[in-house]
């Protein structure tokens, strides 16, 4: 505190174990992994199908749908957080993982559809025609031609949305009110503002634990993230 720019006097890895135990990170990590996995699964399933339909069947309806999704991306989640909570409670998903998963899946659709639609639009139409000549239906064309070719774009969407869902705080803290069901970000905030509010080293160790999965995944897949963003931006 007195020398903020100086190096640590010593490294204490016990801070990480203390943070893991005091913040009950085992439960919080399980919650975050569950919510992130199901959110990304729903998001990718619906985004790929919708993006394929928009790129393959071009018309007024496709353009209106794309504009509608892109318009939704301009709305901040903080502006509509209370309507979201009210709707989830009326649907019976108040303070539950299911409600948060549905919110994340819907919130990530605009970006996912935008990237995937641009990539699908760049696939030569002759490949689709070749599949039709071989007797493939729409689902086979989608599953056997479009999806394998769109792996860079899928990797981009997956990694980008993983970082967003894992690090998201406002929705996670507002929708899920029960401490034992919160994500790792919301749970860490609750703990830091509780009995760790003066234990800075333990709080910072907890923040580092939260960042480690993001750092590792980004370092491993950063080239796919950049390639997919470029491909989705210039194709179509």
CA–CA dist 91, 14 (Å, integer): 44
- Greater pLDDT, 140 or 59: 140
pLDDT digits (tens, 9 = 90+) for 110-129: 889 988 888 888 888 888 88
Given this model, what pLDDT does residue 80 score?
84
Burial 201-222 (b: 16+ CB within 10 A, else e): ebbebbeebbeebeeebeeebe
**Containing H/E element for 132?**
helix 125-133
pLDDT tens column, 190-219: 777 765 566 777 778 888 888 888 888 888
Do residues 209 and 166 touch, judged by C-beta distance below 8 A? no
- Distance between CA atoms of residues 195 and 19, nearest Å: 11
Question: Of 228 and 41, which is predicted with more confidence?
Answer: 41
Q: 37 is written with which tokens?
A: 């996995």
Q: What is the mean pLDDT of residues 98-108?
A: 92
Q: Which two tokens stand for residue 112?
A: 């996912």
Given CA atoms 215, 221, 222, 228 in this order, what sign does their dihedral have?
negative
Cβ burial 178-196 (10 Å sphere, 16+ → b, else e): eeebbbbbbbbbebbeeeb
């Amino acid at each position: 505190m007195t020398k903020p720019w100086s190096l640590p006097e010593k490294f204490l890895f016990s801070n990480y174990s203390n943070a893991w135990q005091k913040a009950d990170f085992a439960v919080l990590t399980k919650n975050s992994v569950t919510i992130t996995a199901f959110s990304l699964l729903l998001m990718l399933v619906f985004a790929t199908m919708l993006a394929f339909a928009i790129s393959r069947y071009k018309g007024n309806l496709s353009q209106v749908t794309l504009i509608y999704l892109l318009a939704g991306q301009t709305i901040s989640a903080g502006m509509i957080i209370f309507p979201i909570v009210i709707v989830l409670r009326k649907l019976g998903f108040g303070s539950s993982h299911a409600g948060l998963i549905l919110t994340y899946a819907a919130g990530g659709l605009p970006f996912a559809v935008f990237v995937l639609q641009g990539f699908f639009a760049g696939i030569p139409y002759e490949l689709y025609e070749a599949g039709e000549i071989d007797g493939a239906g729409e689902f086979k064309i989608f599953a056997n031609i479009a999806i394998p070719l769109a792996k860079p774009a899928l990797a981009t969407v997956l990694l980008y949305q993983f970082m967003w869902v894992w690090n998201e705080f406002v929705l996670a803290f507002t929708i899920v009110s029960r401490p034992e069901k919160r994500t790792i970000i919301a749970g860490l905030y609750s703990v830091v503002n509780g009995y760790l509010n003066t234990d800075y080293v333990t709080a910072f160790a907890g923040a580092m634990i939260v960042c480690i999965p993001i750092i590792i995944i980004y370092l491993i897949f950063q080239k796919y993230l950049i390639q997919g963003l470029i491909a989705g931006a210039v194709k179509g």
